[in-house]
Amino acid sequence: MKMNRKHALALAAGAVLAAGTGMVQAAVSAEEAAKLGRELTPVGAEKAGNAAGTIPAWDGGITRPPAGFRVGTFHIDPYAADKPLYSVTRANQAQYANVLSPGQKAMFAKYPTFRMDVYPTRRSASFPQRTYEFTKRNATQCKLVSNGEGVQNCAEGIPFPIPQNAYEVIWNHKLKYKGLSVLSYSNQAAPTANGNFTLTKVREELLGLYYKPGNTSENINNILLYFKQEVLGPARLAGQVLLVHETLNAAAAPRQAWVYNPGQRRVRRAPNVAYDNPGTASDGLRTNDMTDMFNGAMDRFNWELVGKKEMLVPYNAYKAHSDKTKVADLIRPGHLNPDHMRYELHRVWVVEAKLKEGMRHINSRRTFYVDEDSWQIMLIDHYDGQGNLWRYSDAPSVNYYEVPTFWSTLETHHDLKSGRYITMLLDNEDKVRDFGYQSTPANYSPQNLRTAGVR
């Protein structure tokens, strides 16, 4: 994997946790942090384009919504006039091998109909000015603790915009700004190999205490965020409710989770909502720690920062996100409809996670590809216990420019052995994510679950 000198120096500075200390090296120097907003973007990406001119310079991303957009409606595609530069297919994919992941290559090998239409690269990612300001503060203050399982001296922004190791890259994904309080109605589908599917409709709430103005990593009682998921359909699953209190330091206190089962009409603790236990209504096609591409504790794997490279990733996926695109138009046997997908060439950080000796997980290894402009995990390659490629995940993403934040509009996890996949966050025929939703921590007590399940 190619790395330039800047990346090599960053890795040499501290790619591995200091043995036995529970801590890593201190935050970067003020001199390094001063690069943010100059040669680096405010969140730490290289501001310049690439030498070939195929990746442009970052010019601020989307700083205001397109004309005609109204909050509460689906997002207008700012790049609707773009035409594909080329398409990658099974026939020509060898020409593009250096910008494809092993998982993408496996998709071409398995599905003759899989195609990647590649469009001009638009570095659309942007965040609020407050996020930029706190990111710069974090750069010289924020530190990892508890062998990478927690952070301290951080507030609101990206914690490690100039990452020194893999843990910091993954924490950047976990803590990137998503809005303070979010409500969404969406569907997930797990088609059979021939494309038949039943939608599972869910209502989800997220309240992120880390992002609230005035909060810091030290004053939120180790609660990073609250998450509540209610299953609205089909009838056999309706009424199930999941509540999660996600912690900022999993070593100090692991996440707490509860479920309400309408058949039993009682709330119970759910310590199995973690790691590789199956996700809600997933047919075993995704694990709990694959939600939002990756979440939760990191302690079962050894993490290595491999470097940065250019790759084709599902970016500015406004066509797939549109309310004019019906769910039935998106879902096809084996994969989503390529006619509605958009890929672009972007620089990504590459992180390897390998299962620790003596630890249990269905994956022996996972490779994460993290967008430099947004810290969104764009792709993942998952390997089974024998070290063979098993699953491929991608996260078609858009800039929710009313916030603004760059975040996944879909998450799709492909099982390359069974020929099945599960796709999540399908809100095309529902309501768009509501970033103005008002909520408080009091709404996320276990005592409230039974009420939520029967309303």
pTM confidence score:
0.94
Apex CA 226: angle with CA 177 and CA 207, to 5°?
45
The pLDDT of residue 13 is 40
Would you give the distance in Å from CA 432 to the centre of its chain? 18
CA atoms within 13 A on the CB side of 118: 18
Indicate if the pLDDT at residue 88 is higher than 70. yes
For residue 263, what pLDDT band results from cuts at 50, 70 and 90? Answer: confident
Q: How do residues 317-347 score in pLDDT, each as one tens digit?
A: 999 999 999 999 999 999 999 999 999 999 9
The pLDDT of residue 447 is 87
Q: For residue 418, count other CB atoms closer than 10 A to its CB.
A: 14
Q: How do residues 380-403 score in pLDDT, each as one tens digit?
A: 999 999 999 999 999 999 999 999
> Whole-angstrom Cα distance, residue 227 to residue 225?
7
Quote the DSSP letter at residue 36.
B
Q: How do residues 219-255 score in pLDDT, each as one tens digit?
A: 999 999 999 999 999 999 999 999 999 999 999 999 9
Burial class (CB in 10 A: 0-12, 13-18, 19+), 333: middle
> Ranked by mean pLDDT, which of 1-5, 38-42, 194-198 comes out on top?
38-42
Q: How do residues 10-39 score in pLDDT, each as one tens digit?
A: 454 444 443 333 445 557 999 999 999 999
Burial class (CB in 10 A: 0-12, 13-18, 19+), 202: buried
Find, among 345, 298, 326, 452, the residue nearest to 53 by Cα: 345
